[in-house]
Chains A and B, each alone.
Chain A
Amino acid sequence: MAELSFKDFASDQEVRWCPGCGDYSILKAVQRALASCGADPANTVFVSGIGCAARLPYYIESYGFHTIHGRAPAIATGVKLANPELNVWVITGDGDGLSIGGNHLLHALRRNIDLNILLFNNEIYGLTKGQYSPTSRIGTTSPSSPGGSVDNPVRPGAFAVGAGATFIARGIDIDQKGLPDILTAARAHRGAAFVEILQNCIVYNKDVFDSVSSRKTASDHQIRVEHGQPLLYGPDQDKGLRLNTKTLQLEAVQVGAQGIDEVLIHDETNPTLALMLLNLAPPLPTAIGVIHRRQAEPFEQAFWNAKPRERRQRVVTLLHQGNLVDHRQSASSESAADFR
Chain B
Amino acid sequence: MPQQLAEKNSHVVRFAGDSGDGIQLQGQQFTIASALAGHDLSTLPDFPAEIRAPAGTRYGVSAFQIQFGGERITTPGDTPDVLLAFNPAALTVNLPHLAPGALIIVDDSAFSAQRLRRAELTANPLEDGSLNDFNVCRVDISHLTLEAVKPFGLGAKDSARCKNFWALGLVLWMFDQSRDAAARWIQAKFANHEAVRNANLAALAAGHAYGETAELQHVLSQHPIPEAPLESVAYRTITGAEALALGLTAAGELSDTELLFCSYPITPASALLHHLTGLEEAGVATFQAEDEIAAVGAAIGASYAGKLGVTSSSGPGIALKTEALGLAVAAELPLVVVNSQRAGPSTGMPTKTEQSDLYQAVYGRNADTPVPVLATRSPADCFATAIEAVRIALRHMTPVILLTDGYIANASELWPIPDIDAFQPIANRKPTAATAGGVWEREADSLARLWAVPGDARHIHRVGGIEKDIETGHISYDPANHQAMTDLRAAKVAKVADHLPEQAIEQGVPGGLAVVAWGSTFGAVYQAVKEALSDGLAVAQIHLRHLNPLPPNLGELLAGFAAVLVPELNSGQLATLLRDRLLIEVAQLNQVSGQPFPVAAVKAAIAEHAPVRLVEARRKEAANSGASKRIRRG
Q: Please report A residues at the B interface, Cβ cutoff 8 Å.
A: 11, 13, 40-45, 47-48, 50, 57-58, 61-68, 71, 74-83, 85-86, 103-104, 106-107, 303-306, 308-309, 311-312, 314-316, 318-333, 335-340
Contacts and interface: CB of A to CB of B under 8 A. Distances in A.
A80 B297 CA distance: 12
Contact of A308 (B32, B237, B280, B300): B280
Contact of B38 (A104, A306, A327, A338): A327
Contacts of B238: 322
B262 A78 contact: yes
Nearest to A47: B301
B231 A339 contact: yes
6 contacts: A58-B464, A65-B304, A68-B465, A78-B309, A336-B231, A340-B72
Given A61-B460, A325-B35, 13 more contacts: A42-B454, A44-B454, A75-B301, A82-B301, A83-B307, A304-B280, A315-B253, A318-B246, A323-B36, A324-B417, A327-B234, A330-B227, A338-B229
Given A78-B300, A79-B305, A314 B281 contact: yes
B327 to A, nearest CB: 5
A83 B279 CA distance: 18
B230 A327 contact: yes
A311 B253 contact: yes
Nearest 8 A/B pairs, CB to CB: A78-B301, A66-B464, A74-B297, A78-B298, A64-B462, A335-B229, A74-B294, A306-B280
B475 A58 contact: yes
Contacts of B249: 315, 318
B294 A77 contact: yes
B379 to A, nearest CB: 12
Given A65-B331, A78-B299, A319-B246, A325 B414 contact: yes
Contacts of A308: 258, 280-283
A321 B466 CA distance: 46
Interface in B219-246: 227-238, 242, 246
Contacts of B460: 41-42, 61-63
Interface stretch (B145-153, B285-293, B567-575): B285-293
B418 A319 contact: yes
B139 interface: no
B455 A74 contact: no
B420 interface: yes
Contacts of A326: 234-235
A102 to B, nearest CB: 11
Given A67-B297, A309-B281, A314-B282, A320 B305 contact: no
Contacts of A103: 290-291, 294
B32 A82 contact: no
Given A79-B305, A335-B229, A339-B229, A65 B464 contact: yes
B263 to A, nearest CB: 12
B299 A333 contact: no
Contact of B305 (A42, A82, A106, A318): A82
Contacts of B463: 64-66
A315 to B, nearest CB: 5
B557 interface: no
B181 interface: yes
Contacts of B457: 40-42
Given A66-B465, A328-B233, A330-B227, A79 B301 contact: yes
A75 B300 contact: yes
Nearest to A327: B230
Contact of A42 (B71, B301, B456): B456
A81 B302 contact: yes
B236 A78 contact: no
A47 B297 CA distance: 11
A195 to B, nearest CB: 20
B462 A107 contact: no
Given A318-B279, A319-B246, A322-B236, A83 B306 contact: yes
B324 A68 contact: yes
A57 B460 CA distance: 12
Contacts of B236: 320-325
B420 A336 contact: no
Contact of A324 (B234, B253, B380, B420): B234
B106 to A, nearest CB: 29
Contact of A323 (B32, B246, B279, B324): B32
A268 to B, nearest CB: 28
B231 A323 contact: no
Interface string B38-71: 1010000000000000000000000000000001
B461 interface: yes
B416 interface: yes
B38 A330 contact: yes
B297 A71 contact: yes
B374 interface: no
A62 B242 CA distance: 40
A304 B285 contact: yes
A179 to B, nearest CB: 23
A51 to B, nearest CB: 13
Contacts of B499: none
A311 B331 contact: no
A74 B260 CA distance: 13
Contacts of B227: 330-331
A327 B464 CA distance: 53
B474 interface: yes
Contacts of B237: 322-323, 325
Nearest to A69: B323
Nearest to B71: A338
A81 B230 contact: no
B425 to A, nearest CB: 11
A315 B455 contact: no
B9 to A, nearest CB: 12
B167 interface: no
B544 interface: no
B250 interface: yes
Contacts of B416: 340
Interface string B255-281: 000101010000000000000000111
B35 A71 contact: no
B181 A78 contact: no
Contacts of A338: 71-72, 229
A309 B283 CA distance: 8
Contacts of B327: 67-68
A226 B380 CA distance: 62
Contacts of B305: 45, 78-80, 82-83, 86
A85 B300 contact: no
A41 to B, nearest CB: 6
Contacts of B309: 78, 82
B294 A104 contact: yes
Interface string B150-175: 00000000000000000000000000
A340 B294 CA distance: 40
Contacts of B280: 304-306, 308
A80 B455 CA distance: 12
B265 to A, nearest CB: 15
Given A333-B231, A336-B232, A325 B283 contact: no
A44 B323 CA distance: 26
A50 B32 CA distance: 53
A25 to B, nearest CB: 21
A63 B466 contact: no
Contacts of A62: 460
Contacts of A306: 280-281
A87 to B, nearest CB: 9
Contacts of A63: 454, 460-462
Given A13-B474, A306-B281, A315 B420 contact: yes
Contacts of B475: 13, 58
Contact of B293 (A43, A61, A74, A314): A74
Contacts of A320: 234, 236, 417
Nearest to A312: B253
Contacts of A336: 229-232
Interface string B571-608: 00000000000000000000000000000000000000
